[in-house]
Structure 1
Amino acid sequence: MGLLELKSIKKTYFLGSSVWGKRKIVEAVKNVSLTLEEGVCLGLVGESGSGKSTLGKILLGLEKPDQGEVWFQGRNLYNLKAKELKELRRNLQVVFQDCYSAVNPRLTVGEIIAEPLRNYERLTSAQEKKKVQEFLEIVGLCLEDIHKYPHHFSGGQLQRINIARAIALKPKLIILDEAVSALDVLVQVQILNLLAQLKEEFQLSYLFISHDLQAVNYIADRLAVMYKGEVVERLDDMEQLERLEHPVSKKLLSSVLPPYPSGERLGIINNMTKISL
C-alpha cells in the first residue's frame, strides 16, 4: 500500500431546487482510484470542472465521498475518531491557490507559521520563535519578516509563507491545489524550484493539482489526467509526456508545448528555465 491510496471514490452533487423542478445531477468524481508512493510528486491535471479540486477536498476531509475509501499511512481517514484523525492530519498539509485568503490578515507572519506548531507541539516562546525563523529562512524570506503582516508581502512572498506553514510539522504529504496558478511565470518558476528543493530536503510527497500541464511537467514524477470526474490517462514516466493519447491530454499538451521533432526529449518548457533562488 502506498502513502496515499484512493479506492473507488465517487462524489455527486444535486443542484437546484426539488420544489420547482428536477435537480441537476453532477457527478463530480466517478469511481477514481489512485495511489501515491512516498517521496513521489503525483501531478493531477485536468480542465476546469474535471473533478480534480473536488478530489483534493475529499482527501482533506472538506468533502465526504458518497462512496469509496481514502487510505493515508495505512489508515482509512473516514473511519477514524476525531482524536485519531487530528494526529494523522499532522502529516497531511495543504497549500491553496489563493495565498491571501489562506491566511488571517490580523496575524503576523510569525503567528501564521507557528499555528500548526501550537496545535501539535508544546514549545516555549523562544523555541517557537527559533523554529519559525528557521522556516522563514528555508523558504527564502528574512528573519525580520516574522513581525510583519500579510499585506506587507507580494503574492509570491505570501505563498512562501503558506509553504513555510505547510512544512512546519515536516509532514509526509502536501496537497498543492493550484498553488502556483495565480502567480506570474517568473514567480511560478521560483516557487516550483523551492518546492522541488523542499521535497528533497524533507523527503516530502506531493499531490500537485493543476490545470496547467506545463507546471505539472516541471515538478511531477508521475501524472494522472482527469476529465468529467474520471481519471482517463496515467503516466509513470514524465519523459514520455509527448506520448499521451487521450484527446483531453492532447488538448492540454498542445496548449503549452510547441511541436517537437519525433523522439526529441522534452526538457524545460517554453519560458520555464530553472533559476537559482
Structure 2
Amino acid sequence: MSILVLKNIKKTYLLRNSVFEKRKSIEAVKNISLTLEHGVCLGIVGESGSGKSTLGKIILGLEKPDQGEVCFLGKNLHNLNSKELKELRQNLQVVFQDCYSAVNPRLTIGEIIAEPIRNYKRLSSVEEENQVQQLLKKVGLSPEDVHKYPSQFSGGQLQRINIARAIALKPKLIILDEAVSALDALVQIQILNLLAQLKEEFQLSYLFISHDIQAVNYIADCLVVMHQGEVVESLDDMEQLEQLEHPVSKKLLSSILPPFPKLF
C-alpha cells in the first residue's frame, strides 16, 4: 500500500489589494496527483510561488483543498473526525524552514522534544527524560542539552532539535519544507546526511520540499518539478537528473554547483 496518495488536488485563493478592487483568484495548486511509497524520499522542487509549500500545507491538513483527496495510510485526511485525525497524525510529522520560530523560547529543549511524546504516551518523568536524551544522541547532540534553552543553540543545532522532535514518535512520513535552505552550506550537508541516516535507520518516508534542486538531488530518490501550481515534469531515477527537459527544470539545473561531498 502506498503511504501517501494525492488525487486531483486543487487550491485557489481569492486576493485583493484594497476594498475598492475586485477580488482576483490565484490557482496555487492545479489538479495535482502524486503517489509516495514507503521508505522513499520524494523531492518536490520549484521556484518561489510554484505552489510546492501550499501543497505541503494541504498534506499536513493546515489548508483544505478546494477539490481532491489526500489519502495517508489509506485514509482521506480531510474526511476524518478529530479523534481519527489525532491517531493518524502521530505518523505524520513536519520540519519547517524557520528553526527559530518552530520552538518555544521559554521551554527547555527537553520539553520541546517531549511535546509529541506527552500527546501520545504516558511515561514517567524519568522514562521521558531518558527517551529525550536518546533522541538528542540520535541527532548528534549531547544528552546534557536536555535542560538548556533554544537561545543557547545555533540554527543548525536547533534544526537538529526540530528533527529530534519529528522522529520522537517514529512516524511513517516526515514533510521537510525547505528544512535546510536557511542554513549555511556546510551545515546543510551535515543536516542532509543526518536525514539520510535517520531515513535508513527508521525506514522513514520523506516529502522534501525545496527550491534548491541540488539539495533535492542529494537526498531524494525521485522528484517532481512544480511551476505555477502544476507538476510540469517528474523523475523516477535521480541518476537521470540532467535529462530533465522543461525550461523551469533546466533553469533550476543551471544553478547547481559542484556536488556536495557526502560525510558518511
TM-score after normalising by structure 1: 0.94
- In 1, Cα distance between equivalents of 2:21 and 2:216: 41
Aligned to 2:39, what secondary structure does the other structure show? coil
**Percent of matched pairs sharing the same residue:** 79
Alpha-carbon deviation of 1:18? 8.0
Query: Which AA in structure 1 matches 2:249?
Result: S
Q: Is the 8 A contact 2:214 2:259 kept in 1?
A: no
For 1:250, the equivalent position in structure 2 comes to: 250
- In 2, Cα distance between equivalents of 1:217 and 1:18: 42
Alpha-carbon deviation of 1:272? 1.1
- In 1, Cα distance between equivalents of 2:188 and 2:176: 13
For 1:22, the equivalent position in structure 2 comes to: 22
TM-score after normalising by structure 2: 0.98
- 1:88 lines up with 2:88 in the alignment: yes
Query: Which AA in structure 1 matches 2:44?
Result: L
- In 2, Cα distance between equivalents of 1:89 and 1:224: 25
For 2:260, the equivalent position in structure 1 comes to: 272
Q: Summarize deviations over 1:192-241 as a string: whole Å, max 9, x none.
A: 00000000000000000000000000000000000000001000000000
Which sections of structure 1, spanning at least 5 residues, go unmatched? Answer: 258-269
Q: Summarize deviations over 1:228-271 as a string: whole Å, max 9, x none.
A: 000010000000000001110011001115xxxxxxxxxxxx15
Alpha-carbon deviation of 1:16? 1.0
Aligned to 2:261, what secondary structure does the other structure show? coil
- In 2, Cα distance between equivalents of 1:31 and 1:7: 8
Alpha-carbon deviation of 1:24? 1.5
For 2:99, the equivalent position in structure 1 comes to: 99
Structure 1 residues 100 and 18, CA gap change in structure 2 (3 angstroms): closer
- 1:187 lines up with 2:225 in the alignment: no
For 1:3, the equivalent position in structure 2 comes to: 3
- In 1, Cα distance between equivalents of 2:166 and 2:55: 19
Aligned Cα root-mean-square deviation (Å):
1.0
For 2:128, the equivalent position in structure 1 comes to: 128
Alpha-carbon deviation of 1:25? 1.1
Which sections of structure 2, spanning at least 5 residues, go unmatched? Answer: none
Q: Is the 8 A contact 2:176 2:206 kept in 1?
A: yes
- 1:157 lines up with 2:145 in the alignment: no
For 2:210, the equivalent position in structure 1 comes to: 210
Query: Which AA in structure 2 matches 1:49?
Result: G
For 1:36, the equivalent position in structure 2 comes to: 36
Aligned to 2:21, what secondary structure does the other structure show? coil
- In 1, Cα distance between equivalents of 2:139 and 2:54: 28
- In 2, Cα distance between equivalents of 1:17 and 1:68: 29
- 1:114 lines up with 2:114 in the alignment: yes
Aligned to 1:99, what secondary structure does the other structure show? coil
Number of residue-to-residue matches in the alignment: 264
- In 2, Cα distance between equivalents of 1:252 and 1:92: 29
Q: Summarize deviations over 1:25-61 as a string: whole Å, max 9, x none.
A: 1100000000000000000000000000000000111
Aligned to 2:111, what secondary structure does the other structure show? helix
- In 2, Cα distance between equivalents of 1:103 and 1:165: 10
Aligned 1:234-249 pairs, distance under 5 A = 234-249=234-249
- 1:137 lines up with 2:137 in the alignment: yes
Farther off after superposition, 19-28 or 133-142:
19-28
- In 2, Cα distance between equivalents of 1:125 and 1:21: 57
Query: Which AA in structure 1 matches 2:120?
Result: Y
